Amino acid sequence: MKHYVNDVLKRLEPFDKACQYCGQGNSEDMNENFFVPVFKEQDRTNIVVYRSVKYKKILIGIPRCHSCLEIHNSAGNKAKLWAWVGAVVVFILCLLTGAPYVIIAGIFLLIFGGFFGSHLLEKQFVRDRGILTKLDGAKENETVQEFIIQGWSFTQPSA
């Protein structure tokens, strides 16, 4: 048994303290652990004009030390800043051309660059510090592996 159920917060909390991200530190506070959400589809309705999906969600705690928590948080903030500033600069350059197609392309670049860029940069910044990303660490957890094998998913089902 690696986890126990916290009925109040509706999540699985780990017994283990050893940090899953650096393999050196220990988790000192339950709220500093990373809680990865996993989902399981229960019912889906797909009619041409109506789509709906019902699913279950549970949070699984991954032990994380204070140092790894700080690395994850700072990498996330830094990545968002860099990606959005970069995307806005590219968008302004597209605006300056005055060509409608370039401006439309600039809007797409702004949105995709901001969201995907921050996601990719965050992963890179975390790896540069020599620890696992939040999701990579979760993938090493045996409880998470069991849930995925039983048909749960890291991706939230959408209608």
**Site for other proteins contains 53 (CB under 8 A):** no
Choices 68-76, 94-102, 111-119, 142-150; region in contact with other proteins by CB under 8 A: 142-150
Closest CA to 71 of 1, 24, 15: 24
Q: Which is nearer to other proteins, 8 or 49 (CB)?
A: 49
Q: Which is nearer to other proteins, 31 or 155 (CB)?
A: 155
Q: Which of 7, 46, 49, 98 binds other proteins (CB under 8 A)?
A: 49
**Site for other proteins contains 105 (CB under 8 A):** no
Q: Which is nearer to other proteins, 31 or 100 (CB)?
A: 100
Q: How far is the CB of 48 from other proteins (least distance, A)?
A: 6
- As a whole number of angstroms, the distance between CA 53 and CA 37 comes to 17
- As a whole number of angstroms, the distance between CA 22 and CA 45 comes to 43
**Site for other proteins contains 153 (CB under 8 A):** yes
Burial class (CB within 10 angstroms; exposed 0-12, middle 13-18, buried 19+) of 150: exposed
Residue found by looking up tokens 């998913």 in the block: 153
Query: H or E segment at 128?
Result: helix 100-128
Q: Is 35 helix (H, G, I), strand (E, B) or coil?
A: strand
**Site for other proteins contains 149 (CB under 8 A):** yes
Residues 6+ apart with CB under 8 A from 50: none
Question: Which residues are 12's β-sheet partners?
Answer: 5, 60
Contacts with other proteins in 23-42 (CB under 8 A)?
A: none
Q: How far is the CB of 149 from other proteins (least distance, A)?
A: 5
Length of the chain: 159
Q: Which of 120, 146, 156, 159 binds other proteins (CB under 8 A)?
A: 146
Residues within the interface to other proteins (CB under 8 A) = 48-49, 139, 142, 145-146, 148-149, 151, 153-155
